[in-house]
Each structure stands twice: as C-alpha cells, then as structure tokens.
Amino acid sequence: MKPEQQPRPGKRALRIAFATSELQPFSKSGGLADVSAALPRALGRLGHKVQIFTPLYPGARAMLDGLEAEHNRIEMPHGIWVDGREHALAFAALELPGCEVIFVENADYFDRSGYYLGADGRDYEDNVARFSFFCRAILEYFLFTGDAPDVLHCNDWQTALLPVYLRSQYPQALLQRIRCLLTIHNLGYQGLFPAQAVDQAGLSWDLFHIDGLEYYGQLNLLKGGIVCADAVSTVSPSYAREIQKEEYGHGLAGLLRAQSYKLSGILNGIDTEQWNPEADPLLVCNYSAARPGGKADCKRALQTELGLPARRGAMLLGMVSRLDVQKGVDLLIGAFEHLARLDLQLVVLGSGDPRLEEELSRLAEKYPKKVAVRLGFDERIAHLIYAGSDAFLMPSRYEPCGLSQMYAQRYGSLPVVRETGGLRDTVRNAGSRSLEAGTASGFVFKKASPARLADAVRKALDLYKHKGKAWQRLQKKVMSLDNSWEGSAKQYVRLYRRMLRAAEQNAHAEGKVVNAGAPDA
C-alpha cells in the first residue's frame, strides 16, 4: 500500500463527504459499491479527509456488529418529518483506513431484503421517501455536528436530492458553503416517480417545472440533481460525450447539452489491492504477469466447480453481470448459436431480469458441456470467473464505465467488449497493428448485434488457438495495465478545487465572503 501523501505544497487538504446508496463490502448490487469504497480511500491516500455516508441496510448492520473496530453511535435529540411521519435521526460512525463511514439508520426504510426492489422485483413504493430521508439526514448531520465538508460528492438518483435541498431548503451559512458534485454512474436510472411524490420528498411545487424536476409530468430526481449541482460528472470521458446525444441520453441529452459547461468525464479506476490475482484468497492458486502458471489451475477449478469438462484447450469465456438489456445479454444468447460448434465454453454469473435468467438457463440446458450458468450474486464465484476464464464478455449496449473489464484484464482474462462508454476508453482492439505495437488490450466490436459479437469472439479464439505466443503476450500486457485509482482520484481533486475556486470568484464578484475556508489553490 502506498504511504499517505500530503496535498501539493500551497494546497490545503480538502474535506469531502461522499454520499452513496451502496458501499462495498457492506452493500453491493453493482459497480457503484466498488467505486464508493475505492475512490474515497484513494482520496484519503492523497491526504484529504473523507466521510462516506451510506444507509445502514441489514447486511451492513450484521457486519458492523461483527467488526472488532469500535463504532460510535450518534443519536440526535430531534427527528425529521418525511412523508407525513417523524423519523428519528441516528448514525453509526466507523473509522476505516483513510476514511470514515457514517451509516444512516432508519429501520423502517432500510431494514429490507433489497436496496431498491422488493422480493417481487418491483421498486419499493416509498423509494422517494426512503432516499429523501437519506439525503436530509446527511444535511442534518452536518448541522448537528456543526461541521460541513468543502465538497459534497453525490452519486446517482438516490443522492440527487442533496443539491436540490441545498438550493431550496437549507439556507444556513454552514451548508451554503458546500459545493456539490453529482456523479452519474448510469443515466438509465433516473429516479422517476409520479408527480405526487413531490410531496413525499417534501419539495416545493415551485420546483416542479420543465427547468426543474418535472419530466413529462413526472418527478425526476436525477434531473433535479443535474440542474442544481455545481458540477456534474460521469464515469468515463466517452460516456460524458455520448450522453449528450439522443441515442444515449435517456431523454436527458438536451438538458445535458445545455449543462455541458459543468459536465465532465473521469474514468473509474479499480482497487488493485482487493483485485489482485497474486494475493486473492478466493483463488485455488495465485499468479501474476511474471508467474502466470497458476491461471491454468484456476481455469480447471472453475470448470470443475461449474460442472463443465475440465478441458484446457477449449477457450473459456466468462461473464459476470447484472442481467439487464444494458449489458447485451440477449446479444450473447443470440451469438452463442453461431458459436456453439467452436471449441469454447461459456460461464455466466448474473442476476436480474427474469426473462434473461430463463433464457440463459435454457442455453445451459441445451449445451450442458459448453455452457454453465449461475444465477444470483456471488462475490466468490465472480473472482473465480475473472481468474479462470480466458476471455471476458461485455457486449454492453451502453456502459458508463464498467469495472468488470478492468478486473478481467488484471486477472489476465482478455475482454471482448462493444465499443461504447468506458469500454471504449479502457479496451483497445487487438488488430495486427496494435498487437505489433503492444497497444492492444482486448477485442472490440462496434455494432450491437449477435453476429458482430460472434465475429469478435471468433477473432479472440483464432488468436487463442493459433497464435499462442501472441495471446500470452497480450495476456501479460493487460495484467500489467495501470487501472488504479490514483490518477482518477487526482482528477477529482482538481475538479473539486475548480468548483471551490468558482464559488469564491462568484462570491468576490458579488462582494460576499462565502467560503471562509476556500482553498488557496
């Protein structure tokens, strides 16, 4: 682990609050959880003071109870009114290396089996109230402790009400100093609710108009966040460009174009300690770019565990994914019919859309010696797949960043991806020129169709079967790529400082002193 750094001379350490609805290892349904754990730690390593705010779900409560580290419980003497009821305000604060986690408690809202969906697969009806409470509890925490951050970093629709509340309901000087960044991890999820949710969220109807939170007659939380935040970012430069086009804008392209002056794209990194084949305790055998031998053992173990013939020569394709149209799972199902006769095997771990779960299960029944499917969320099997597969599939229709392709690279599994969003920014196609120049880092196809995906897999298979040395060189190369958080964390710090400087300049222009603690950068 790198030693803690100090901010550059002349720059003071920033105080950053990071608000997120998922935090690995306490809660996770996708990459947001990984980012929420790794980015704050990377910011901490750069010498900044970071607090993470996240809901206390049952899994997190159980882990917290089992942790040896002491946590502090903070109860406030007053509650807040949300959706016609008073809710107590209580928090559990836990010191972790490089940052502090503050769990927001509310048994009514967070003691449930899912984070956003009930057992019937449908959104909880009171989601707007649940995350409205979460956001307001964070602001109340700052007021209660009398200590507010320089920057409040919000993530996705679940925390998009924070900048809205800051703009409309919390005039206190302590809170008005805060600059707010909203990061969009996935524009496909906007927090859309019927108009009457305006009341549940405790918002004024004055905000319910086309330039505010109204979206075709509904309440759109992400839209409100985009409008009210001081800056908006997304998780790759390519996705930041794509979402300004109708094709990828999920109905908000026009708004994002209009707000493009405050929109940027910063590529996610990966936690290279947690995702390290050299030390990963979940693997049967550890290995590295310098000593790759153990990967063959991992492949055999994966084939055996998932009930496939342990054939070394067959190219093993892996996929670990939410099962959602976004991820192009249907493209894979279609493509497999073109691929079934080739010498390859496929393992898929995923959960989500019941229709896709069923179609995948049918594929596995049809090709029992070639296809193995595990439905569910399983961290251990995910690691086994990254390590045991030869190639890793991400045929996404859109992909804001994608972490899985970077985990696959680190574990020497060559990604086969569609050219979109963060996949475009992290995977360079293995053509003859890029292979020769040593710049290739996977296989890339453009059009979202089963046939094009099948073509890309055939190219990978050709290299695997007939150009063993080139395959190994490529494998070694991708294992040594630097996808760590450090560079991206520095970009976030520069963005935070720009936001604070802009606020200071505005205040000077207006003749006010807004942020007494503004950076001297």
Q: Is 220 helix (H, G, I), strand (E, B) or coil?
A: strand
Give the dihedral sign, CA 56/62/63/64: positive
Instruction: Please report whether residue 30 would count as binding ligand GLC according to CB under 6 A.
Output: yes
Q: Please give the Cα distance from 328 to 486 (Å, whole number).
A: 30
CA distances from 390 to 267, 275, 480 (A): 25, 17, 16
Count of residues binding ligand GLC (CB under 6 A)?
Answer: 14
Q: Please give the Cα distance from 352 to 356 (Å, whole number).
A: 8
Closest CA to 409 of 430, 432, 426, 433: 426
Q: Which one of ligand GLC, ligand ADP, none interacts with residue 442, CB within 5 to 8 A by kind?
A: none
In the bound state with ligand GLC, the residue whose beta carbon lies nearer, of 105 and 156, is 156
Q: Which one of ligand ADP, ligand GLC, none interacts with residue 139, CB within 5 to 8 A by kind?
A: none
Provide, rounded to whole angstroms, the least separation between the CB of residue 204 and ligand ADP. 33
Find the binding residues for ligand GLC in span 260-279 (CB under 6 A). Answer: 268
Provide, rounded to whole angstroms, the least separation between the CB of residue 274 and ligand GLC. 15
Using DSSP, how many helices (H) and how many strands (E) does the chain show? 20, 20
Find the binding residues for ligand GLC in span 420-479 (CB under 6 A). Answer: 422
Q: Which one of ligand ADP, ligand GLC, none interacts with residue 412, CB within 5 to 8 A by kind?
A: none
Q: Are 55 and 23 in contact (CB under 8 A)?
A: no
In the bound state with ligand ADP, the residue whose beta carbon lies nearer, of 124 and 377, is 377
In the bound state with ligand ADP, the residue whose beta carbon lies nearer, of 32 and 221, is 32
Q: Where are the alpha helices (DSSP H) in 274-353?
A: 294-305, 329-339
In this structure, how many other beta carbons lie within 10 angstroms of the beta carbon of residue 317? 26
Q: Are 7 and 17 in contact (CB under 8 A)?
A: no
The span of 52-60, 112-120, 398-406, 511-519 binding ligand GLC (CB under 6 A) equals 398-406
Q: Is 385 helix (H, G, I), strand (E, B) or coil?
A: helix
In the bound state with ligand ADP, the residue whose beta carbon lies nearer, of 286 and 351, is 351
In the bound state with ligand GLC, the residue whose beta carbon lies nearer, of 31 and 163, is 31
Provide, rounded to whole angstroms, the least separation between the CB of residue 142 and ligand ADP. 29
Name the CA dihedral angle for 416, 418, 423, 428, rounded to a multiple of 10 degrees: 60
Site string for ligand GLC, 213-242 (x = CB under 6 A): ----------------------x-------
Q: What angle do CA 280, 283, 328 make, to 5 degrees?
A: 90
In the bound state with ligand GLC, the residue whose beta carbon lies nearer, of 32 and 102, is 32
In the bound state with ligand GLC, the residue whose beta carbon lies nearer, of 200 and 236, is 236
Closest CA to 198 of 171, 221, 232: 221
Find the helix or strand (DSSP H, E) in which 277 lies.
none
- Select the residue whose beta carbon is closest to ligand GLC and give its number: 31
The contact set with ligand ADP (CB under 6 A) reads 30-32, 34, 320-322, 349-351, 377-379, 382, 401-404
Provide, rounded to whole angstroms, the least separation between the CB of residue 222 and ligand GLC. 13
Q: Where are the alpha helices (DSSP H) in 344-428?
A: 354-366, 379-388, 404-410, 421-426
Provide, rounded to whole angstroms, the least separation between the CB of residue 81 and ligand GLC. 32
Q: Which one of ligand GLC, ligand ADP, none interacts with residue 379, CB within 5 to 8 A by kind?
A: ligand ADP
Provide, rounded to whole angstroms, the least separation between the CB of residue 29 and ligand GLC. 9
Of these, 40, 202, 265, 400, which contacts ligand GLC (CB under 6 A)? Answer: 400
Strands across the sheet with 391-394, in order?
A: 371-375, 344-352, 315-323, 391-394, 414-418, 443-445
Closest CA to 177 of 154, 147, 213: 147
Q: Which one of ligand ADP, ligand GLC, none interacts with residue 235, CB within 5 to 8 A by kind?
A: ligand GLC
Site string for ligand GLC, 161-190 (x = CB under 6 A): ------------------------xx----
CA distances from 301 to 11, 49, 284, 305, 404 (A): 50, 42, 7, 6, 20
In the bound state with ligand ADP, the residue whose beta carbon lies nearer, of 89 and 391, is 391
Provide, rounded to whole angstroms, the least separation between the CB of residue 325 and ligand GLC. 12
Binding site for ligand GLC (CB under 6 A): 30-32, 35, 185-186, 235, 268, 399-403, 422
